[in-house]
Every structure is written in structure tokens, then in C-alpha cells.
Amino acid sequence: MTDQIQPIILTGDRTTGPLHLGHYAGSLKNRVGLQHTHRQFLLLADTQALTDNAHDPDKVRRNVIEVALDYLAVGIDPALSTICLQSALPALAELSMLYLNFVTVARLERNPTIKDEIQARGFGRDIPAGFLCYPAAQAADITAFKAQVVPVGEDQAPLIEQTNEIVRRINRQVGRDILPEARALIPAIGRLPGVDGKAKMSKSQGNAIPLSASSDDIRDAVHRMYTDPNHLRVSDPGSIEGNVVFMYLDAFDEDPAGVEDLKARYRHGGLGDMAVKRRLEDVLQALLAPIRERRAALARDPEFVLDIVRQGTLKARATTQETLDDVRRALGLFAFDG
């Protein structure tokens, strides 16, 4: 069984909206590759999404199928990857509650990821307790699958360290390694900016290109994409740094030599924004057309998609319950069912 020797990956997305090109470049594309060499679990993180969306659970629910559609559309293969729903895995909540006893409030507050996100979301003192506690919940997710590899953005690396602290504390207490430590897998490509040049692409900012974008949407988005504001005439030399069009070309154009050539001509002067944008539009249309088509076909059969999520979740239930039982047994808790 190759299953036994493939390292386990846990990854996933909060179900707060359909995924976009930033997700594709930063993670989805990698996952399609990783599923051939790893045992990969993809978590539809609806419970985690609630930690800052408790006022709008409807949004969180509606987007479960949207994210699942995105996964399947980009080429996640349910025969190779397990897509599962966080809220339907009770062992995750049970492990989370257990782990909260193995981490102090002071430690959670020191977590740089949490600090940054509290600031970004403007929570201040009125941060929901669930949000403060989410590193423990994430440790539950990661360890429940006994994941050894967790692909995350650079800013999320401290969360993996927090997970490993809990793992070490429990392993030390029980006197053997019942839980593996996890390693952050940080993608080579940094975060893709929004089409407006802002650091973060997000649906709420209106600067994202969703995976389901129509041909017109793509054209419009590329058209209004941020370039070099000082590049007024075609003959002027242009700047590549911070130029979103080139950043997207770097991320998506499969002809890097061609991109280097365009960059040289742009820097020199004589290459207009429109010409570069035309190239990017072609690249993105070619990338997204099959994804959009596949997504639309799947969206016509939601029961088929939900059934994939159901099958994956049942498999994940067995895996996560087994880990919970291991941890409870090793800690010497009361074994009710056995």
C-alpha cells in the first residue's frame, strides 16, 4: 500500500467565499501536484470561518459547496485527495477543547498571526474568544489527521509552531510520540496582489479574479489592472516593480523567457501597457476557461459534489476519531466506548 509511506498533508480553506486566482497561485496549483505524492486532506473550514463570521453563518454555509466546486474544477481528484467538512468532524471539536488545556492565554495572545489578524480585523479587546482560540483548533485539525506537512503562507508559519508546541507537550506528558510534529510548506511564489495593486487579493475588496470569472470579467479585470503610474507614453521606460501585470505574468505565464523579453522591452521603453495586458489576458483566458467550464458543469449537479464531500468526510471521521481515541487513551482519560 503506497498510502502507508506517503507523507500526510492537511490543507484547506475557510468557506467564506469562492476561491480566486490568488488561491490558485498560492496553493491550489500546488495541491493538484501534491496529491500524487502525498496523502492529502482538504478541509472545508466552516467551523473556523465562524470564528469571525458568527453573525453570518448563512454565508459560511453557502460557500461550502462553492469551495468544493473550486477544488474539483482546478483538478483536485477525490480519488487522490480527501475533501472533508470541518463541522462534520466532532473529533476536531473534542481535540480542540482538550488542547485548550495545554496552552495558556498568554501564549495565544503572543501568537504573531493572531496579533496581526486581530489588528487587521479591528477586533481590539472585543475579540471573539473563538478567534483567540483558533490556534488550538488549528492544532486539532493538523494533528487529527497526523499531518506532517502543512502548506501555509509565510505569515501563518507561527501557527504551525504553536501546533508543534502542543504536540511536544502532549508527547512529553505521555512519554512517547503519539502525535507527529508538522512542517510548514511555504510556497515559492509569494502572495499575489489584487488587480488594484493592494497587497491582498480579496473578494470583499473587489480586487480579485474568481476562478469562475467569465471571459468578460477577466478582460475587464486585466484592463483595469495596476501597472506603472508613471508610464504615460508607450515610448517611456516603464517600471516592473509593483507592476501587477508583470507579477501576474510571473505567476501564470508558462513561457518565462517570453516574460523576460517583455520585461526588458518594457523597461527600455517602446512597449505599451496594452500590449502586456493583452499577453496576460491571453494567459488568464487560457488558464481559466477549462476551470470555468468544469466548474459550471459540476455546479449543475450539486448532489454529485456534495456526495464527494460526504464520502470524504466519512473517511475523515474515521481518521480523526482514531486520533482522538489515541490521544485520550495515551493521556489516560476515561475510555467510554472500549
Please report, as ranges, the residues that interact with a copy of itself according to CB under 8 A: 46-47, 50-52, 54-55, 57-58, 60-61, 64, 85, 87-88, 90-91, 93-94, 96-98, 100-106, 108, 125-133, 136-137, 173, 310, 313, 328, 331-334, 336-337
Query: Three-class SS of residue 8?
Result: strand
Residue (294 or 310) nearer to a copy of itself, CB? 310
Residue (35 or 313) nearer to a copy of itself, CB? 313
| Beta carbon of residue 109, minimum distance to a copy of itself (angstroms, whole number) | 9
Residue (51 or 227) nearer to a copy of itself, CB? 51
Query: Buried (b) or exposed (e) across 202-221, using 16+ Cβ within 10 A?
Result: eeeeebbbbbbbeeeebbeb
> Which residue, 16, 32, 23, is CA-closest to 211?
23
| Beta carbon of residue 145, minimum distance to a copy of itself (angstroms, whole number) | 18
| Beta carbon of residue 335, minimum distance to a copy of itself (angstroms, whole number) | 8
Residue (112 or 128) nearer to a copy of itself, CB? 128
Cα 51–chain centre separation: 16
Residue (94 or 217) nearer to a copy of itself, CB? 94
Give me the phi and psi of 15, to 5 degrees please.
-90, 70
At a CB cut-off of 8 Å and minimum separation 6, what does 252 contact?
21, 25, 280, 283, 284, 287
Residue (105 or 286) nearer to a copy of itself, CB? 105
- Rounded distance, CA 2 to CA 317, Å? 21
| Beta carbon of residue 169, minimum distance to a copy of itself (angstroms, whole number) | 9
Q: Are 38 and 10 in contact (CB under 8 A)?
A: no
Judged on CB neighbours under 10 Å (0-12, 13-18, 19+), 196 is: middle
Residue (125 or 300) nearer to a copy of itself, CB? 125
- Rounded distance, CA 83 to CA 282, Å? 31
| Beta carbon of residue 331, minimum distance to a copy of itself (angstroms, whole number) | 4
Query: Three-class SS of residue 46?
Result: helix
- Rounded distance, CA 162 to CA 166, Å? 7
- Rounded distance, CA 200 to CA 230, Å? 23
Which whole-number Å values give the CA distances from 185 to 6, 39, 88, 148, in the listed order?
16, 15, 26, 10
Residue (93 or 251) nearer to a copy of itself, CB? 93
| Beta carbon of residue 127, minimum distance to a copy of itself (angstroms, whole number) | 5
| Beta carbon of residue 316, minimum distance to a copy of itself (angstroms, whole number) | 11
| Beta carbon of residue 45, minimum distance to a copy of itself (angstroms, whole number) | 12
Q: Are 285 and 218 in contact (CB under 8 A)?
A: yes
Report which residue type is found at 18.
P
